[in-house]
Structure 1
Amino acid sequence: MTMLRDSDLAAAFDRAATTYDRLVAANPGYHSHLRRSARRLRLPGGGAGLRVLDLGCGTGASTAALLRAAPHAEITAVDASAGMLERAAAKPWPPNVRFVHAPVERLADAGVHGPFDAAFAAYLLRNVTDPDGVLAAIRALLGPPLGRLAVHDYTLSGSPLHRAVWAAVCRGIIIPAGSLTGNADLYRYLQRSVEGFDTAAGLRDRMAAAGFRDVRVLPVSGWQTGIVHTVVGRR
């Protein structure tokens, strides 16, 4: 299968949007892990006076995690998929949350300008054509004194065991569930995108090469240990 990218991937997520929330809700730890990664931004004062960017917000799960961690922050949530964003925006949100339809590479064209105090990127970087360019763009949007980034994603540890667990879960659960919704191609892409992207250590090095400092890899719990990580750094 050809790797989906850019407009083709956005269209695939458009088609999957109506069933996406139900599928991820069946994943133990999905929402709690997002909340843990959002807390790892360590935003002070409940985010009061801070501007936070939620990149690749999808149907709003990452936005909800950020809102839990920083209820007083001004949160700008963006996504390239109109269908996913429509689902997100239809949910009840406080006035300090806004949604913007735009690819992360063209935020300025959509009126999204820095500086932001922090950025959260969940399940984003392995889905873009140029992850190094996207990291550079994120860094340019961040400003002092915080300038923090948390990346939450499937980034395998490098252990053959964790790679085997991921493959087994995809074959036995994720792809069959996607097939029931008529979106099997998207979930086959999910498996291959994870296997073809950085390990956790590789993403750490990529962020450091993009100019982020104090970059650290932090684990999550449950079956996704060694499969999902938070990688944090600062401008």
Structure 2
Amino acid sequence: MTLLRGAALSAAFDRGSASYDRLVAVSPGYHAHLRRSARRLGLPNGGDGLRVLDLGCGTGASTAALLAAAPHARITGVDASAGMLDRAAGKRWPDTVEFLHAPVEELAGRFDPGSFDAVFAGYLFRNLTDPDATLAAVSGLLTPGGRLGVHEYTLGGSPVHRLVWHAVCGAVVLPAGRLAGDAGLYDHLRRSVVGFDTAPAFACRLRRAGFSSVRVLPLPGWQTGITHTFVARATSSAEGRA
């Protein structure tokens, strides 16, 4: 089976949206790890006065993590899957949270340059046809020096990390997907992680896109060496001229 991309992936998420929250809830540390990554953005004063873009917000798990880390921020959640977004929008949120149905490829046309002080992307970049183009768009949407946080499956350098991922997928992820009737989506999950950047490679991708102060931070538990937080800053205009 080939990887799902674009409209095919959005349609798969639409079909899987009804069971998605139940399935991720049984993944040890799923929500706690998202909250940890959101805190690592380091938004000051509870996000007071800050505008945050939650890119690929899905059913709102990353939105909830951002809200816990920055309860006073204005958060805009964006996702290409109408089904996932309906699940997110159907939950209770403060009036500082809004949702928008749009593919990431359309971001530049939806928002003005410098519209956001921070961008968070959870489990997004390995699903994109052109992650470099999306990083360029994100850089343009951030204020100079704005913060980027990425929470993503990116295998570490050890072969053990790849073996653990395959073992978890074989024993848990794929059987759960079959039981939920979403075997194709969860096979895509398995393949997309193996086929995407390692953690060091994604950090290099961020630097090539012009982000500075790039840091790669591990997550605890079974996901050590499998899932990482990446934090970086958009290059300011002064830095760009240097």
Shorter chain as normaliser: what TM range?
Answer: over 0.9
Which whole-Å deviations, capped at 9, do the CAs of 1:108-132 have from their partners, x for residues lacking one?
44x3334210000000111010000
Counterpart residue number, 1:182: 181
Matches within 5 A, 1:25-40: 25-40=25-40
Distance of 2:138 and 2:91 partners within structure 1 = 26
- Structure 1 length normalisation: TM-score? 0.98
Counterpart residue number, 1:152: 151
Matches within 5 A, 1:130-209: 130-144=130-144, 146-209=145-208
Post-superposition shift, 1:158?
2.0
Contact 2:155/2:198 (<8 A) preserved: yes
Answer yes or no: is 1:56 the counterpart of 2:63. Answer: no
Give the match's secondary structure for 1:28. coil
List gaps (5 residues or longer) in structure 1: none
Give the match's secondary structure for 2:143. coil
Counterpart residue number, 1:43: 43
Distance of 1:104 and 1:40 partners within structure 2 = 23
Distance of 1:112 and 1:133 partners within structure 2 = 16
RMSD over equivalenced CA pairs, Å? 0.8
Counterpart residue number, 1:224: 223
Distance of 2:79 and 2:157 partners within structure 1 = 29
- Structure 2 length normalisation: TM-score? 0.95
Distance of 2:197 and 2:205 partners within structure 1 = 9
Q: What amino acid is aligned across from residue 137 of structure 2 in structure 1?
A: A
Distance of 2:213 and 2:124 partners within structure 1 = 21
Counterpart residue number, 2:103: 103
List gaps (5 residues or longer) in structure 2: 235-242
Distance of 1:15 and 1:175 partners within structure 2 = 16
Give the match's secondary structure for 1:211. coil
Distance of 1:233 and 1:153 partners within structure 2 = 14
Post-superposition shift, 1:99?
0.2
Post-superposition shift, 1:79?
0.1
Give the match's secondary structure for 1:18. helix
Contact 2:155/2:162 (<8 A) preserved: yes
Distance of 1:142 and 1:48 partners within structure 2 = 17
Give the match's secondary structure for 2:156. coil
Q: What amino acid is aligned across from residue 55 of structure 1 in structure 2?
A: L
Q: What amino acid is aligned across from residue 75 of structure 1 in structure 2?
A: I
Post-superposition shift, 1:163?
0.4
Deviates more, 1:191-200 or 1:111-120: 111-120
Q: What amino acid is aligned across from residue 203 of structure 2 in structure 1?
A: R
Deviates more, 1:112-121 or 1:151-160: 112-121
Distance of 1:203 and 1:217 partners within structure 2 = 9
Distance of 1:202 and 1:59 partners within structure 2 = 28
Identical positions, percent? 67
Counterpart residue number, 1:233: 232
Which whole-Å deviations, capped at 9, do the CAs of 1:110-155 have from their partners, x for residues lacking one?
x3334210000000111010000000000000003x4010110100
Distance of 1:25 and 1:198 partners within structure 2 = 26
Q: What amino acid is aligned across from residue 38 of structure 1 in structure 2?
A: A
Q: What amino acid is aligned across from residue 52 of structure 1 in structure 2?
A: V
Counterpart residue number, 2:4: 4
Deviates more, 1:99-108 or 1:203-212: 99-108
